[in-house]
Structure 1
């Protein structure tokens, strides 16, 4: 509004407050499809909690048939994963709780940005992972040897750089207090 204008806020000539549309209500389920080297590594059903057009949040029980003991954490029947996927970021963050709801920590996959189509959320695993324990005392970069052996740096250097940058970003967040702001 110019100094000489006779317009007043809220007058018909002045736009009022912008209406910000609410994200659509979501419910139902999605099939989570994790692809590695062009093949489906695992797929499992998950309850759709939210989708704001950029980030998709789902909840699913541990999808493995047996206990998976990594040494720093055990995933087992009864564990519940609240999983956060982005359409514009190169990672997924999975909050892991045991059957009683006690937080175990966060397991992060470095992936290409997620796509959602036909009831499926599809991500391509790029081998790199990160673990942050519930108390924040343990932050581990995982599978860097698998990533190097994958040859991605040669076959798709831009994707390899994006993957390495995503791992660095997650590690920084994990060491600076966790993922609370990212997942809020």
Structure 2
């Protein structure tokens, strides 16, 4: 499974597809710093845009940030709705869709209350991953699947939930080459 790909991403169409009018999701898109931290949440962003500001200037901003340190686009929101001896059940929300995902591979998943998954877009390179809390009073940062930047089960490519999330995200990115 390829986690990073060089493609020509249509950022505007991808963002519009990911948000689809769902204002309640605050992790929909953010700029990144060189080390993958999301500065908007720390109040360090040089420009701020609200959901209502998705206009030409907003997308120019995203294009500029994608060419610099990259941007993060949230594509899937996951919420655990049940867990037991035999597995866990998650609600996955993406685009205009919602599905229930059930796994019985308890040893390969990390149970969480909720998480968001998406892509880092930088200079035409797309990396699949998620946001990870940076610790107490820290801002979130981007971590790619398969990395050792957070709990191994959470980012593992052996995690059946992650495999499903990646297959969803592949269909949500607008580009010439994915």
Give the TM-score, by structure 2 length.
0.31
Considering fraction of residues, name the structure with more helix. Answer: 2
Structure with the higher strand share, 1 or 2: 1
Q: TM-score, normalised by structure 1?
A: 0.30
